[in-house]
Structure 1
Amino acid sequence: MTQVQFTLNLDDLKDEVMNSNLTAVAKSALVLVMNEMMEKERDEYLKADAYERTDSRMDYRNGYYERELLLSIGRVTLRVLRTRNGDFSPSLFEKYSRADQSFVLAMLEMVVSGVSTRKVKKVVEELCGESVSKSLVSSLTAQLDPIVSEWANRPLDAADYSYVYADAMYIKVREDHRVVSKAVYIAIAINGENQREVIGFKVASSETFEAWRDFFKSLKDRGLRSPNLIVSDAHEGLKKAIQTEFVGTSWQRCLVHFKRNILATVAQKDKKELAMGIKRIFAVLKPEDAREEKERFVDRCMEEGRFGKAVQILEEGFDDAIQYLNEPEETHPFIRSTNHLERLNSEVRRRGKVIRIFPNQPSAYRLIGAVLMDYEKTFSRRLLWERKRNRKETKQVD
Structure 2
Amino acid sequence: MTQIQFNLNTDVLKEAVMASNIDTVMKASIVLVLNAVMEKERDEYLQAGAYERNSIRRDYRNGYYERDLLLSIGKVTLKVPRTRGGDFSTTVFERYSRCDQAFILSMLEMVVNGVSTRKVKHIVKQLCGESVSKSFVSSLTEMLDPVVSQWASRPLNTKYYPYIFADAMYIKVREHNRVVSKAVYIATAIDEGNHRDVLGLKVAHSESFEAWQSFFQHLQERGLQSPKIVISDAHKGLKAAIAKEFVGTIWQRCLVHFKRNIFTNLPKKEMDEVKFGLKRIFDVAEADEARRFKDEFIDRFGDNPKLERTLRTLEEGFEDAIQFLNEPAKYHPYIRSTNSLERLNQEVRRRERSIRIFPNTQSAFRMIGAILIDYTEEQERKKILFKK
- Please give the TM-score of this superposition, normalised by the length of structure 1: 0.70
Q: Structure 1 residues 365 and 22 mapped into 2: Cα distance closer, same or farther (>3 Å)?
A: closer
Change beyond 3 A, Cα 1:127–1:175: closer
* Deviations, residues 17-61 of structure 1 (Å, cap 9, x unaligned): xxx9999xxxxxxxxxxxxxxxxxxxxxxxxxxxxxxxxxxxxxx
Report matched runs for 1:222-301 at 5 Å.
222-269=222-269, 272-301=272-301
In the alignment, which residue of structure 2 is the partner of 1:67?
45
Does 2:89 match 1:93? yes
The aligned amino acid for 1:154 is R
Bigger Rg, which one: 1
* Rounded Cα–Cα distance in structure 2 between residues aligned with 1:117 and 1:352: 15
Cα 1:321–1:98 shift into 2, 3 Å: farther
Any stretches of 5+ residues in structure 2 without a counterpart?
1-5, 10-42, 48-57, 61-81
**Aligned counterpart, 2:203:** 203
Q: Look up the SS of the partner of 2:378 in the other structure.
A: helix
Which residue of 2 is the match for residue 311 of structure 1?
A: 311
Where does residue 158 of structure 2 map in the other structure?
158
1:141 partnered with 2:137: no
> Amino acid of the residue matched to residue 372 of structure 2?
L
Deviation of 1:351 (Å): 0.6
CA RMSD of aligned residues (A): 3.6
- Which whole-Å deviations, capped at 9, do the CAs of 1:238-263 have from their partners, x for residues lacking one? 00110111111111000000011111
- 1:277 deviates by 1.9
What's the counterpart of residue 17 of structure 2? Answer: none
Task: Give unpaired runs (5+ residues) of structure 1.
Answer: 1-19, 24-64, 70-79, 391-398
Q: Deviations over 1:324-368 (max 9, x none)?
A: 001111111110000011111111111111211111112211211
Shift of 1:299: 0.9
Q: Count how many residue pairs are aligned between Structure 1 and Structure 2.
A: 314
One-letter amino acid of the counterpart of residue 239, structure 1: K
The 8 Å contact of residues 174 and 360 in structure 1, kept in 2 or not, is answered as yes
Contact 2:188 2:199 in 1 (8 A): yes
Cα offset, 1:173, TM superposition: 1.1
Deviates more, 1:346-355 or 1:372-381: 372-381
| Aligned counterparts of 1:140 and 1:307: Cα–Cα separation in 2 | 59
Using the alignment, how far apart are the partners of 2:279 and 2:381 within structure 1?
A: 29
Aligned-partner Cα distance in 1 for 2:371–2:223: 23
TM-score of the two chains, using structure 2 as the length reference:
0.71
1:330/1:98 Cα in 2 relative to 1: closer, same or farther (>3 Å)?
Answer: farther
Question: Offset at 1:380?
Answer: 4.8
Of 149-158 and 110-119, the range deviating more from structure 2: 110-119
State the partner residue of 1:52. Answer: none
Q: Secondary structure at the match of 1:357?
A: coil
Shift of 1:305: 4.3
Change in 2 beyond 3 A, CA 1:174/1:93? same
